[in-house]
């Protein structure tokens, strides 16, 4: 069903695609499939913004990671750096 939702969005020929938790509830292999598709769409020139919690997908897909907490942006940068940001760890990762 998630694939159909993405396919429907793609049928509008978007230049900018926003997907809100499009991988929630999927198995690991299904998550991998969707990330592969999104990367392929991006390679065709589509700018993509994801709202996503699945870190496996986040780290594989994102060139940049932005973190919001209580309606404010607290981090914006390369994923590897952002997930090690102490404020992000405290607010999001609970460490």
Partner 1 sequence: MGNSLSIEKIDAAYGAVRVLEDVSLKVNSGETVVLLGTNGNGKSTLMKCVMGIVRPRAGAIVVEIDGERYDLIGRSTEQIVDLGIALVPEGRRLFPRLTVEENLLLGAFRHKARTALKSNLISASNASRDWPSAAPSSPARSAAANSRCSRSRAH
| Residue among 47, 78, 81, 87 that touches partner 1 (CB under 8 A) | 47
Minimum CB–partner distance for residue 95 and partner 1 (Å): 14
How far is the C-alpha of 62 from the C-alpha of 78, rounded, in Å?
Answer: 8
Q: Is residue 77 within the footprint of partner 1 (CB under 8 A)?
A: no
In 3D space, the residue among 35, 41, 32, 42 whose CA is nearest the CA of residue 61 turns out to be: 35
Minimum CB–partner distance for residue 70 and partner 1 (Å): 6
Q: Is residue 76 within the footprint of partner 1 (CB under 8 A)?
A: yes
Cα distances (Å, whole numbers) of residue 18 to 10, 69, 81, 90: 11, 20, 23, 27
Minimum CB–partner distance for residue 37 and partner 1 (Å): 6
């Amino acid at each position: 069903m998630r694939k159909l939702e993405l396919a429907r969005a793609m049928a509008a020929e978007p230049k900018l695609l926003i997907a809100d938790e499009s991988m929630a509830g999927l198995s690991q292999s299904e998550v991998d499939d969707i990330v592969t598709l999104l990367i392929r769409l991006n390679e065709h020139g589509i700018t993509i913004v994801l709202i996503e919690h699945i870190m496996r997908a986040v780290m594989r897909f994102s060139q940049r990671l932005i973190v919001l907490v209580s309606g404010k942006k607290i981090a914006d940068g390369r994923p590897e750096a952002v997930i090690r940001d102490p404020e992000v760890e405290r607010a999001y990762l609970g460490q």
